[in-house]
Structure 1
Amino acid sequence: MSTHFLTVPGLASSGPMHWQTIWEEQYPHIFSRVMQDNWDWPVKTDWVTQLQKQISELTQPTILVAHSLGCITVAHWAQEHHSDLIQGALLVAPADAELSKRLNFVVGFKPIPVKPISFKTIVVASTNDIYATISRSKHFAETWGSEFINVGKKGHINAVSGLGDWTEGKEILEKLGNYKLLAEEATRS
Structure 2
Amino acid sequence: MKTSDADILIIPGWSGSGPDHWQSRWVAKLSSARLVEQEDWYKPARDAWANRIVAAVRAATKPVVLVAHSAGVSAVAHAAEHLKPHEVMGAFLVAPASERAKRAIPGMAADFIPLPHKPLPFRSVLIASTNDSYCTPEEAKALAEAWGSEFVDAGESGHLNSESGHGPWPDGLLRFAGFMRSLSVISTASQ
Q: Confirm or deny a common fold (TM above 0.5).
A: yes
Report the TM-score, using the length of structure 1 for normalisation: 0.88
- % identical aligned pairs: 37
Question: Structure 2: how far apart are the matches of 1:146 and 1:167?
Answer: 22
Select the residue among 57, 73, 94 that pairs with 1:71. Answer: 73
* Cα pair distance change 1:12/1:167, threshold 3 Å: same
Matches within 5 A, 1:50-65: 50-65=52-67
**Which secondary structure does the structure 2 equivalent of 1:51 belong to?**
helix
1:10 matched to 2:32? The reply is no
Runs of 4+ in 1 over 3 A off after TM superposition: none
Query: Structure 1 stretches of 5 or more lacking a match?
Result: 180-189
Partner of 2:136: 133
How many angstroms does 1:172 deviate by? 1.7
Question: Structure 2: how far apart are the matches of 1:103 and 1:163?
Answer: 20
* Cα pair distance change 1:51/1:132, threshold 3 Å: same
Question: Structure 2: how far apart are the matches of 1:91 and 1:161?
Answer: 17
Shifted more, 123-132 versus 105-114: the winner is: 105-114
Question: Structure 1: how far apart are the matches of 2:59 and 2:86?
Answer: 12
How many angstroms does 1:170 deviate by? 1.3
Query: How many positions carry a matched residue from both structures?
Result: 177
How many angstroms does 1:109 deviate by? 1.1
How many angstroms does 1:178 deviate by? 2.7
**Which secondary structure does the structure 2 equivalent of 1:75 belong to?**
helix
How many angstroms does 1:83 deviate by? 5.5
CA contact (8 A) 2:43 2:106 kept: no
Question: Structure 1: how far apart are the matches of 2:106 and 2:20?
Answer: 26
**Which secondary structure does the structure 1 equivalent of 2:66 belong to?**
strand
**Which secondary structure does the structure 2 equivalent of 1:47 belong to?**
helix
**Which secondary structure does the structure 2 equivalent of 1:80 belong to?**
coil
Alignment RMSD: 1.6
How many angstroms does 1:91 deviate by? 0.5
Query: Structure 2 stretches of 5 or more lacking a match?
Result: 183-191
Question: Structure 2: how far apart are the matches of 1:10 and 1:164?
Answer: 15
**Which secondary structure does the structure 2 equivalent of 1:52 belong to?**
helix
**Which secondary structure does the structure 1 equivalent of 2:78 belong to?**
helix
How many angstroms does 1:104 deviate by? 6.4
